[in-house]
Structure 1
Amino acid sequence: MESTASLDKAPLEFYKPDNFPKGLTRKVVESISHIKNEPSWLAEFRLKAFEVYEQKPMPTWGFIPQFHINIDDYVHYVGSNQKKKKSWDEVDPEILRSFEKLGIPEHERKYLAGIETMNDSETIYANVKKELTDLGIIFCDIDTAIREYPELVREYLGTVVTIGDNKFSALNSAVFSGGSFAYIPKGVKTPMPLQAYFKVTAASSGQYERTLLIADEGAHLEYSEGCTSVQDKGTNFHTAVVELVAKKNSKIFYTTIQNWKKNMYNWTVKRGICEEAAHITWTDCNIGANTIKYPGIILKGDHSTGDVLSLAFAGSGQVQDTGARIIHVGKNTRSNILAKGVALDGGINSYRGLVKFDPSSKGSYSHIKCDGLMMDNRSQSHAYPYNDVSGEEGTLNYEATVSKIDDDQLFYLQSRGMNEDDAKLLIINGFCEGVTKHLDVEYSVEMTKLIKMILEDGKVIAET
């Protein structure tokens, strides 16, 4: 492997892992690559991305302008003095407590096939059960994959989400650190979900993980990630890029449970590509943060299918701008989007989606359903659909609703012995069920607990 050192014509000064300044410069990008001792092709990838980032203006659509984000206000790499752990007994107790807060039950943690923990910019814990390696499954952090499986990473990195896709994909490509990598061989199914956990602790810092998951022909991949932050001072910035590659007849199921602090700006790019008869499902649960995120699927192959299931809660001072992007390219492709948004305590929730049928996508079908629930007169719920059907042989159905909790429903439940708070909680959980029922049972139960915490925080129900 040719390291970045071989590219240096003269000695350069680099930042130390624990001493990066705020702001994004070429020196920051080169220092990250130097610290990781990356191959020359990846160093060049980063520098090209940095050039694209500098050239592209900040987007002006949607809610972005009102956030007044300045990327140079953040530290873009926060090193860790902890060595990567392989046993739960070695993990910092604070991180274990964070898992509980995120809603991952203890027995589920012990049962997970593979797990990776990232704190700020570096992976500090990784474990893969022998059962996975015996099946030929590769699961590790992206930095390990670059060292040990460089051909695989180089073949697929940046092919689904390109450097020039948008300013944030360029930003991530320049400074990414940590994230997950998985390769599932032909015909192999993950026996249990692969799991990753991302936590931000440093003030005024950015987290930029890069995740690349590949399911070979006939493979089946289940992956779940949890996200949380603990810092109350100032703001944090999170821009991840996730790329999914679903080969012929394969399936990928990707679940996110996001529980950031409200002072987090979360602008993430997630996209997958399906080859012939392949399938991708994004299940996206967004709590906390000001979020701009639209998981995407390119249905490239004939008979490929894709689902996006989105749930978002917007409380005081929050904007949840979420949705989906699905492009139908192959013949007889199918897609389904279900978006559920709850706005309370003056929060703003919006669905922003794109479904496009290329002329080549004959016989394809898409169904879109977005529902908004407002808990008070100060909150807002919006829908911004963009549907483009080219040709005459595609079918697209779109429906949207905005509602409040019905007084008749409350009266009925209270007449059956429920108090008002329990009745509200039951109604809201019923509203969210279209998404939460697709979670594993344990995660669905924990999601219900998180919903209860959100409603208590927003004074919709009393604290217990």
Structure 2
Amino acid sequence: MSSDQDHLKETDTEARFEFKKEEKSAFQTEKGLTEETVRIISEDKDEPEWMLQRRLRALEQFQEMPMPTGWPGAPDLSEVDIADIVPYIRPDIETRGGAENWEDLPEEIQDTFDKLGIPEAEKNALSGVGAQYESEIVYQNMQERWEDKGVIFCDMDKAVQEHEDLVKEHFMTKCVPPSDNKFAALHGAIWSGGSFVYIPEDTTVNMPVQAYFRMNSEGMGQFEHTLIIAEDNSEVHYIEGCSAPKYSAFNLHSGGVEVFVGENAHVQYSTVQNWSKNTYNLNTKRAICEEEGTMEWVSGSMGSKATMLYPSTVLKGPGATDNHITIAMAGEGQDIDTGAKVYHNAPDTKSTI
């Protein structure tokens, strides 16, 4: 291939992810993080009191923890000033919790996800798809044949309302508590959107479910939470994609992922993240794997100004298995610090990184 063709191909790829839309929002908080900000987010979502209290406790923990200074060679986080971040932007859509029909989305949001190929993927290869724009899910759909088997795939805000017992038991309690690290605490205080996946016992979902997260606005933070519960003898493949256009001001992505793998269950979590070069990508992702369960992480990390990401699995039950495959690429001005962690807490467990 000629150098001209190489350049055109590279330009086309950049254009696919780095296009921008005019910012339109129905509601957004002021910059910075205060107790009032947390209360406003919780009130706007009409959350139960227990979730507000968890947010406020996470805020306390965030304020008590020092900013991580890292170690020699670790990414420089000195530019990350929460006072300069807009933590919550609700997009201007009529349906809270996500439209069920693609055509019901505003034209500019449809166009955003059309360019990224999301509708085509849904038609051809997915059991369900969710799309988050700014701080909230704007589209969510699950094929009826899986819903009839008791599979749940919805946004986290809806899950808090409609599957309260499951969320209350699992949300940032046993897997990723806010005390884990400063950015987990930040996430616990101002999380918004994300996916809830529940696979009943003895159920195999043999087509992937996918969620796509898009930051459009300059100087914002995105804090989606993904909670996957795979009961005994179940199987699911979850695919996550993330991107943001390039701006002069920095953006912050600090998502949280919690996966519960039941006995003899199998969960594959695949993620492709192509952030712009002004984004700090600071996530916490962890799974707890019961007896004879299998957890697989497949990660592709491109873009971002700095990424710190170490998906981890706690092998809790005898015979549990964990596999990690990570592909990371960095260019000039980018710092990607990524790896994996496995805790072998039971006999006859095995892992591959």
1:91 correspondence with 2:105: yes
1:128 Cα deviation after fit: 1.2
1:131 Cα deviation after fit: 1.0
Alignment-derived partner of residue 21 in structure 1? 30
Alignment-derived partner of residue 145 in structure 1? 159
Mapping of residues 351-362 of structure 1, within 5 Å: none
1:232 correspondence with 2:243: no
- Determine if contact 1:278/1:305 at 8 Å carries over to the other structure: yes
- Determine if contact 2:136/2:192 at 8 Å carries over to the other structure: yes
Q: Answer with 80-89 or 315-324: which moved more.
A: 80-89
1:111 correspondence with 2:125: yes
- Determine if contact 1:202/1:231 at 8 Å carries over to the other structure: no
1:88 Cα deviation after fit: 2.2
Once the two structures are superposed, residues 166-206 of structure 1 have per-residue CA deviations (whole angstroms, 9 ceiling, x without a partner) of: 10110000000000001100010113111101000111000
Alignment-derived partner of residue 320 in structure 2? 304
Specify the SS of the correspondent of 1:256.
strand
Mapping of residues 47-446 of structure 1, within 5 Å: 47-62=56-71, 63-65=74-76, 67-82=78-93, 83=95, 84-99=98-113, 102=116, 106-107=120-121, 109-158=123-172, 159-289=174-304, 290-337=306-353
Specify the SS of the correspondent of 2:147.
helix
Over the aligned positions, Cα root-mean-square deviation in angstroms equals: 1.7
> Do the aligned partners of residues 98 and 313 (structure 1) sit closer, same or farther apart at CA in structure 2, a change above 3 Å counting?
farther
TM-score (norm 2): 0.87
Once the two structures are superposed, residues 62-101 of structure 1 have per-residue CA deviations (whole angstroms, 9 ceiling, x without a partner) of: 4244543111110111112212311123334544554465
Structure 1 unaligned residues grouped into runs of 5+: 1-15, 338-464
Distance (Å, rounded) in 1 between the aligned partners of 2:346 and 2:103: 49
Structure having greater relative contact order (Cα 8 Å, sep ≥ 6): 2
- Determine if contact 2:99/2:105 at 8 Å carries over to the other structure: yes
- Determine if contact 1:246/1:275 at 8 Å carries over to the other structure: yes
- Determine if contact 1:258/1:288 at 8 Å carries over to the other structure: yes
Distance (Å, rounded) in 2 between the aligned partners of 1:188 and 1:66: 43
Structure 2 unaligned residues grouped into runs of 5+: 1-24
Q: Answer with 308-317 or 104-113: which moved more.
A: 104-113
Alignment-derived partner of residue 32 in structure 1? 41
1:233 Cα deviation after fit: 3.2
Q: Deviating runs (4+, > 6 A) in structure 1?
A: none
1:123 Cα deviation after fit: 0.9
TM-score (norm 1): 0.67
Distance (Å, rounded) in 1 between the aligned partners of 2:296 and 2:308: 19
1:287 Cα deviation after fit: 1.0
- Determine if contact 2:225/2:257 at 8 Å carries over to the other structure: yes
Once the two structures are superposed, residues 320-348 of structure 1 have per-residue CA deviations (whole angstroms, 9 ceiling, x without a partner) of: 110001110110101001xxxxxxxxxxx
- Determine if contact 2:252/2:281 at 8 Å carries over to the other structure: yes
Higher Rg of the two aligned structures: 1
Distance (Å, rounded) in 1 between the aligned partners of 2:122 and 2:29: 37
Query: What is the identity percentage for the equivalent residue pairs of Structure 1 and Structure 2?
Result: 39
Aligned length: 322
> Do the aligned partners of residues 169 and 202 (structure 1) sit closer, same or farther apart at CA in structure 2, a change above 3 Å counting?
same
Alignment-derived partner of residue 18 in structure 2? none
1:106 Cα deviation after fit: 2.0
1:60 Cα deviation after fit: 1.2
1:317 Cα deviation after fit: 0.7
1:112 Cα deviation after fit: 1.5
